[in-house]
Amino acid sequence: MQLVIVESPAKAKTIEKYLGKDYKVLASYGHVRDLPPKDGSVRPDEDFAMDWELYGDKQRQVKAIADAAKGADRLILATDPDREGEAISWHVRELLAKRKALPKDVQRVTFNAITKQTVTEAMQHPRELDQDLIDAYLARRALDYLFGFTLSPVLWRKLPGAKSAGRVQSVALRLIVEREREIELFRPQEYWNVIATLEQGGTAFPARLVKFEGEKLERLSLGEAGIAARAKAAVESGMFRVEEVDTRPQRRNPYPPFTTSTLQQEAARKLGFSASHTMRVAQTLYEAGAITYMRTDGVQMDPSAISAARAAIAERYSGHFLPEKPRIYETKAKNAQEAHEAIRPTEFTRDHYGSGDEARLYDLIYKRAMASQMASASLERTTVTLRDGTGRNELRATGQVVKFPGFLAVYEEGRDQKADGDDEDGALLPALAVGDAPVKQGVEASQHFTQPPPRYSEASLVKRLEELGIGRPSTYAATLQVLKDRNYVRTEKNRFFAEESGRLLTSFLERFFPRYVAYDFTAGMEDELDDVSGGRAEWKHVLEAFWKDFKPKSDEVMEKKPSEVTEALDEFLADYLFPPKEDGSDPRKCPACAAGRLSLRGGRFGAFIACSNYPECKFTRKFAQPGGNGDGGEDGELGKHPETGEPITRKVGRFGPYLEMGSGKEAKRGNIPKDIGELTLDWAVKLLSLPRSIGPHPETGEEITASIGRYGPYLAHNGKYAKLRSTAEVFETGMNSAVAKLAEAANGGGRGARAAAEPLKTFGPHPESGGEIKLMAGRYGPYVTDGTTNATLPRDKQPEELTAEEAVVLITEKAAKGPAKKGGRKKAAPKKAAAKKPAAKKAPAKKAPAKARKPAGEAAAEAISDDEVPF
């Protein structure tokens, strides 16, 4: 018997069908072991010795592999054809050797696609494990471990709220934060465009004013309304004739087939997929034998695939769409060993596959690969110049016509953002000749403002990381997911925004570890790791060079007092936290007491701005409110409640401002929403009166109330909830509107609709049941389900780290145990009490009195002493 090891059960099932009865194919379900997440797993002082630990949920699967290996004549390691695949094969071999279950004949087989022909051919050409790729894996794993496990304790002790730092993750975060800084520093500039609408032969077209009063117009030349009005009047009064017609042919060549990076970018632009979702769907397509391996830097296709693509083109299109010679693309990958064939369909005769997201991604891959072998597109670009009688004012019209679509008939690459003038360039122009005087239909002067650089989307961030040589495309999805999971960034409308914690972490690393978040250093480290996988460098030498500088630097920062770190960051962030004021006054002057100076402080709940005159002055401001008057100020009385006469006070706490009426247990408190504008006594009375009763529901008779909770304004009725859009709606929503909103929420729009809960992740169909595997947030913790069987995640498994293979194992093992017995678990027999003297009966524990629940706010300056509180 010959034992074949692959990663996933879906892949195992397909391959076993191809190989026949002499082969037994088992899945490892991904990686089987890793470095234990504790100190000492990598020991630089012992020549970088590494300890490995079997994943808790892989015990059963490894035992099954070991049992099968004992009776096998030959072990074939057929994991994925990249560095991670090589590493999994190495781990399996090492584990079997340790258990004395390793067959004498051990071979490595790789294939780029899961088709019968590819798999059977690969089995005829086995090789040894590639030690260079294994060394590259060891170097990367050790490097990431040393970086994270050395730096993270520094962060925990010196930077409240920081959760972790990573070699590539921190640099990707820096890109997002720097873009945020660029946007904040950006000052929009006004400019105007003057565009005439002209007509010739019944066809209207636009023409832009490009020269005014003999001066060539740049983008900002018409900088205010007055000069724009003069320019518009000059165009309106002038008689413009065609002076030049410049027609030039253009060719556009097709794009190469997808690499991992370009697939992630295009799927984000055209399908709205995140990088991680793109890779999950692509993995499903690969394991189903629909596409080639999806982790690759290569753009070349196999000669047989090129022939198949050309045959498909010839069958579908006329001969003009097929170039005389096949197109050959050269890979830009720095390491040829990791540059596999491009991502393409395994069969060009199959133009559709699957359903849902699988079908959409397959269509993208198919069309891109097909277009890569098609003829170039032929276009004609025409530029028409028109001048008035003085020759001092000039209009220009541009347009282009597609003469022959070529590959554009199948595929056109998406773009992140349109450039200025794109719409005009694509306009159709009528036939024009020198001397023609088109009819002027109208002239418009339009005001514009320069725009800041756009925030990164997943597509543009992946593209930028690849341009800088930071990380590798196969790791981008995981890197971006970590930034989201750690709450260092958030996404809105598919754009990355830096959170306060991410900005503070980046500033800390730039100030104390500038070398290790530098783009050139990180890119250079990637080159060194590529040299290891290419056999040009020794992996331990690379680690030694890194460790000898990194360890002393981290020790140096760890020895600093929290107050020294705070002072350094206060100075480093001065321009951001205390920007110059328009009136020229001191930006650090405390707006509350006017005597103290503001500075960055650290507390148990994160960074904030506080007055130097604490505790006399309690002014505080959030870290993320640069230059503002903050949430803080002295506790101030807004007035007395019109009915009870009790004073209503505005206070400031660590979570922001809040209202308080009364004191002690009986005190009534309420948050101050951000969308109410100026806080007045009337607003304070309204907010403290919540929840507001709207009245009994016309169907149930139960009361409907409106209030403001942790997640914003909402309606409540009989245990069901519906969101409101603003604080104003809390006080304005009537019965009809409330009933409608609650009904909409019950049908899937609100928190009450549990059936409409969105999965945290999806992993494709289960290999046995066929149901879609989903990761869900349950009442008692995260769980995975295939629609039939639910399996709770182990306590040591983070939801964001769960792989498809692990999800399959959890569901399969849970299903094997069968349904839970009715009546639940048996109660444990009561333990016999140890012989003790009978204790006096304790009185019921009283609730702590004065710890009234603190809403969003309460003395942020509770822990303002720098050296007492780590920062």
Assign residue 214 a region: left if phi > 0, alpha if psi is -120 to 50, beta otherwise?
Answer: left
**By the 8 A CB rule, do 199 and 534 touch?**
no
What burial letters (b/e) apply to 803-813, b meaning 16+ CB within 10 Å?
bbbbbbbbbbe
3-class secondary-structure state, position 785: strand
First to last CA, the chain: 61
How far out from the chain centre does Cα 744 lie? 30
SS3 291: strand
| Residue 6 contacts residue 78 (beta carbons within 8 Å) | yes
Structure tokens at 347: 């069969």
CA dist 155 and 165 (Å) reads 8
Q: How far apart are CA 245 and CA 238, in angstroms?
A: 20
Helices 519-533 and 458-468 pack at an angle, to 10 degrees, of: 70
Q: Report the C-alpha gap between 93 and 656 in whole angstroms.
A: 56
Examine residue 591 and say whether the peptide bond preceding it is cis (omega within 30 degrees of 0). Answer: no
Fill in the amino acid letter for 311: A
In this structure, the number of other CB atoms found within 10 A of the CB of residue 846 comes to: 6
Query: Is residue 366 a contact partner of residue 373, using CB atoms and an 8 Å limit?
Result: no
Q: E strand or H helix at 519, and its extent?
A: helix 519-533
Closest to 295 (Cα-Cα) out of 248, 354, 343, 367: 343
Answer yes or no: 18 catalytic.
no
CA distance 93 to 364: 38
Q: What are phi and psi of 741, to 5 degrees?
A: -65, -40
* Structure tokens given for 736: 């009809």
- CA separation for the pair 463, 473 (Å, rounded): 9
Instruction: Give 635's Cβ-side CA count (13 Å radius).
Output: 16
DSSP for 566-596, written as a single string: HHHHHHHTHHHHSPPPTT---TTB-TTTSSS
- Provide the token pair at 49: 């010795």
Angle between helices 539-558 and 131-158 (to 10 degrees): 0
- The region that residue 771 occupies, defined by phi over 0 for left and psi between -120 and 50 for alpha, beta otherwise, is beta
Q: CA-to-CA distance for 305 and 344, rounded, in angstroms?
A: 9
Q: Which of 29, 55, 137, 293 is catalytic?
A: 293
**How many other CB atoms are found less than 10 A from the CB of residue 671?**
19
Q: Name the DSSP letter for residue 615.
A: T
What gap in Å lies between CA 110 and CA 793, rounded to an integer? 32
Three-class DSSP category at 754: helix
Structure tokens at 134: 């294994």
Angstrom distance (rounded) from CA 210 to CA 230:
14
Say how far apart CA 81 and CA 88 lie, in whole Å.
11
Asked whether the beta carbons of 529 and 140 are under 8 A apart, the reply is yes
CA distances 156 to 165, 562, 604, 871, Å, are 10, 11, 11, 8
Q: Which residue has the tokens 């133009």?
A: 351
Helices (H), 681-796: 681-688, 727-732, 735-744
Distance CA 716, CA 720 (A): 6
Which sequence positions are flagged as catalytic? 293
